[in-house]
């Protein structure tokens, strides 16, 4: 029996629907790390779409770092490389799952505070007044039991004040997913700044890093579809554990757009 359902949706294009269905099959283990995917023709038959649609969906999955397409051989689910494609905005939990590893959390600390306590930079990122209430979530994220990322997420309480937020769920669940499923808060895109830094002492201790070890620090603001800031993310990534990928357009892209 095929693990795929026909790619039909009124809310998205056929390519997007096919991409989402294939992506789900990979992330849930229907196609395990290292497994070869069916041919484009077979995938098209399973999903009820053309080979052109399948080809476009596979191209996006390759950009995500989920698959490896070998010319003349076939398409394979990538193995245990913890790869984060910075063109796509998804959380740490999903990034770890994408690598075929088991996500976990071995440290969770949550608190509420006024925006005046988090610094001017964060207030500007979230565009909130100094008396706005914020939820601050600090976690150590694991991949197969190994600490790999220290995350600090700062969320305006106004996003979920109408309902209680069970922060204990964050031991096992994605913040992105909880905001989307429980509070109808959909993150449309994020703007990230990336630089190497020496982490604060508490971060280094939680990640079991020697003193003066550089981490890759990502400071990101996530926005809704109306460009409203929804979330401030600060991530300290363990060195030598991640492969970060940025897809950069070439000069031909610029020339085409300049001519149009």
**Span between the terminal Cα atoms of the chain, in Å:** 47
pLDDT of residue 203: 95
Q: Is 258 a residue whose pLDDT tops 80?
A: no
Sorted by sequence, the CB contacts under 8 Å of residue 115 that are 6+ apart come out as 122, 123, 126, 128, 129, 130, 131, 132, 133, 134
Per the CB < 8 A criterion, the answer to whether 178 and 94 are in contact is no
pLDDT attached to residue 118? 95
Please name every residue paired with 114 in a beta bridge, in sequence order, or none if there are none: 133
Mention every residue, 6+ apart, whose C-beta is less than 8 A from residue 231.
126, 153, 154, 155, 175, 179, 187, 221, 222
pLDDT on residue 80: 52
Does the predicted model carry a pTM greater than 0.85? no
**What is the model's pLDDT at position 84?**
60
Between the ranges 127-136, 158-167, 190-199, 204-213, where is the mean pLDDT highest?
Answer: 127-136
The domains found in the chain, sorted by start residue, are 14-77 (1.10.10.10), 84-245 (3.40.1410.10)
Euclidean distance between CA atoms 152 and 134, whole angstroms: 12
Q: What is the mean pLDDT of the chain?
A: 85
Over residues 9-22, the pLDDT tens digits come to: 556 789 988 998 99
* pLDDT confidence of residue 253: 47
The more confident residue out of 54 and 24 is: 54
Q: For 144-181, write each residue's pLDDT tens digit.
A: 888 999 999 999 999 987 788 899 999 999 898 899 88
CB-based contacts of 168, cutoff 8 Å, min separation 6: none
């Amino acid at each position: 029996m095929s693990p795929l359902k026909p790619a039909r949706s009124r809310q998205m294009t056929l390519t997007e629907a096919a991409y989402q269905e294939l992506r789900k099959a990979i992330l849930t283990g229907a196609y395990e790390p290292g497994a070869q995917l069916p041919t484009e023709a077979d995938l098209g038959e399973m999903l009820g779409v053309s080979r052109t649609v399948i080809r476009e969906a596979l191209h996006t999955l390759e950009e995500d770092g989920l698959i490896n397409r070998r010319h003349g051989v076939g398409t394979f689910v990538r193995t245990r490389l913890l790869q984060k494609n910075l063109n796509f905005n998804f959380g740490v939990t999903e990034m770890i799952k994408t690598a075929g590893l088991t996500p976990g959390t071995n440290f969770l600390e949550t608190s509420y505070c006024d925006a005046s306590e988090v610094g001017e930079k964060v207030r500007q990122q979230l565009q909130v007044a100094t008396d706005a209430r914020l939820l601050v979530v600090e976690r150590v994220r694991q991949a197969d039991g190994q600490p790999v990322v220290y995350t600090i997420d700062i969320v305006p309480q106004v996003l979920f004040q109408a309902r209680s937020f069970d922060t204990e769920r964050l031991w096992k669940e994605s913040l992105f997913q909880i905001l989307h499923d429980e509070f109808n808060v959909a993150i449309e895109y994020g703007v990230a700044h990336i630089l190497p830094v020496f982490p604060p002492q508490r971060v280094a201790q939680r990640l079991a890093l020697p003193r003066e070890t550089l981490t890759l620090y990502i400071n990101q603001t996530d926005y809704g579809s109306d460009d409203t800031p929804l979330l401030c993310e600060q991530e300290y990534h363990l060195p030598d554990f991640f492969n970060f990928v940025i897809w950069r357009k070439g000069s031909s892209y610029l020339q085409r757009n300049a001519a149009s």
